[in-house]
Amino acid sequence: MEKKEKKIVLEVEGLKKFYNDVKAVNGISFKVFEGEVFTLLGPNGAGKTTTLEILEGLKKHDEGTITLFGTRIKTVLPLHLKEKIGVVLQENNFIEHLSVVEILKTFRGFYSKGLKIEEVLEIVSLNEKKNSKVEKLSGGQRQRLAIGVALIGDPQLIFMDEPTTGLDPQARRNVWELIIKLKKTGKTIFLTTHYMEEAEFLSDYIYIMDHGKIIASGTSQELIASFGGKRVIEAHMNVDENERKELFSLFGESAEFEDSKVFLKTSDLPRTMKKLLDWVEKKRISLEDLIVRQSNLEDVFLKLTGRRLRD
């Protein structure tokens, strides 16, 4: 209900991009609302980056419509719209030998209006490194510079293509905090990721993408709820084919196997756990590494595709 009152920043309808026989993007549709963090979640090769590059004006689409800030995009993204967007690419490199400040000044020169260099340095916490050459920056610092460059024109919409891939956990956390900070300032953020924790932590709305198609969408709570259970029991057990069938008949669709690992999703943890332990005791099967955890987007993806996000 609340979404309907918000302004649509980006609307995509039936978007397609083919490379010969490969359907990289196969008829996807979505809307991005002002001020939200919108996430395309999917494994590598799902078509997320291709989608993003079409929206950023780097690639042409074969079919479908794109409406950005109320303007229908045909092939090339006009400069006045480029002024309204910021982009963090998957791989961010800059002209070598220039310092952080010089890089920011260069990109600031492309925009008719935007933020001051000092403001951006403050936002991305690179004040201490402002005179360092880009090649001397760590991965996390370089990524923060990339975000700074994306912010320099004070964009309304920021595209971020897997902004934390390859970063260590601390650097990843820093980028997450930065994204939350940007969201608080009213920026709309279009994110792609294959990290379900990232999508869950940052997103207002998630579209799960696989093989060029959107296979599910909603808030993370909605998606997890659609999965069929709030918690998951995980354990390793050595069972033969008959025992596996018996387990399926006992737990129905809530049971899944991945090699010797069983996953039981449940909304009634004590009851499901008792049922499992009774069956194990009766069958004299050993249980190892038993854990109980909250359901997550990984479970949703596994349920939808039979594969894990990181596969």
Residue closer to other proteins (CB basis): 12 or 206: 12
- 105 token code pair: 């000044």
154: contact with other proteins by CB under 8 A: no
Q: Work out how close the CB of 116 gets to other proteins at its nearest, in angstroms, rounded to a whole number.
A: 16
82: contact with other proteins by CB under 8 A: yes
- 155 token code pair: 């964009």
Per the CB < 8 A criterion, the answer to whether 54 and 15 are in contact is: yes
Kind plus residue range of the DSSP H or E element containing 261: strand 261-266
58: contact with other proteins by CB under 8 A: yes
Q: Could you give the CA distance from residue 255 to residue 270 in angstroms, rounded to a whole number?
A: 16
Q: Work out how close the CB of 97 gets to other proteins at its nearest, in angstroms, rounded to a whole number.
A: 4
Centre a 10 Å sphere on the Cβ of residue 151 and count the other Cβ atoms it contains: 24
Binding mask 111-140 for other proteins (x = CB under 8 A): x-----------------------------
21: contact with other proteins by CB under 8 A: no
For residue 240, count CB atoms less than 10 angstroms from its CB and return exposed for 0-12, middle for 13-18, buried for 19 or more: exposed
Q: Work out how close the CB of 9 gets to other proteins at its nearest, in angstroms, rounded to a whole number.
A: 17
Kind plus residue range of the DSSP H or E element containing 174: helix 169-184
Q: Work out how close the CB of 95 gets to other proteins at its nearest, in angstroms, rounded to a whole number.
A: 5
Binding mask 249-278 for other proteins (x = CB under 8 A): ------------------------------
Binning the chain into helix, strand and coil, the percentages to the nearest 5 are 40, 30, 30
107: contact with other proteins by CB under 8 A: yes
Q: Could you give the CA distance from residue 12 to residue 224 in angstroms, rounded to a whole number?
A: 25
Q: Work out how close the CB of 84 gets to other proteins at its nearest, in angstroms, rounded to a whole number.
A: 9
57: contact with other proteins by CB under 8 A: yes
Residue closer to other proteins (CB basis): 109 or 186: 109
Name the segment binding other proteins (CB under 8 A); options: 109-117, 186-194, 221-229, 239-247. 109-117
Q: Figure out which of the listed residues 11, 34, 62, 83 binds other proteins, where binding follows CB under 8 A.
A: 83
Q: Figure out which of the listed residues 1, 2, 21, 95 binds other proteins, where binding follows CB under 8 A.
A: 95
Sheet order of strands, 287-294 included: 255-258, 261-266, 231-237, 287-294
Rg of the chain over Cα atoms, rounded to whole angstroms, equals 23
240: contact with other proteins by CB under 8 A: no
Q: Work out how close the CB of 52 gets to other proteins at its nearest, in angstroms, rounded to a whole number.
A: 10
Residue closer to other proteins (CB basis): 99 or 217: 99
To the nearest 10°, the Cα dihedral for 196, 201, 204, 206?
A: 0
- The DSSP annotation for 199-248 comes to HHHH-SEEEEEETTEEEEEE-HHHHHHHHT-SEEEEEEE---HHHHHHHH
How many chain residues touch other proteins (CB under 8 A)? 27
Q: Work out how close the CB of 171 gets to other proteins at its nearest, in angstroms, rounded to a whole number.
A: 20
Tell me, letter by letter, the H, E, C secondary structure of 85-123. EEEECCCCCCCCCCEHHHHHHHHHCCCCCCCCHHHHHHH
Residues lying near other proteins in the complex (CB under 8 A) are found at 56-58, 79-80, 82-83, 85, 87, 89, 91-98, 102, 106-107, 109-111, 149, 153, 159
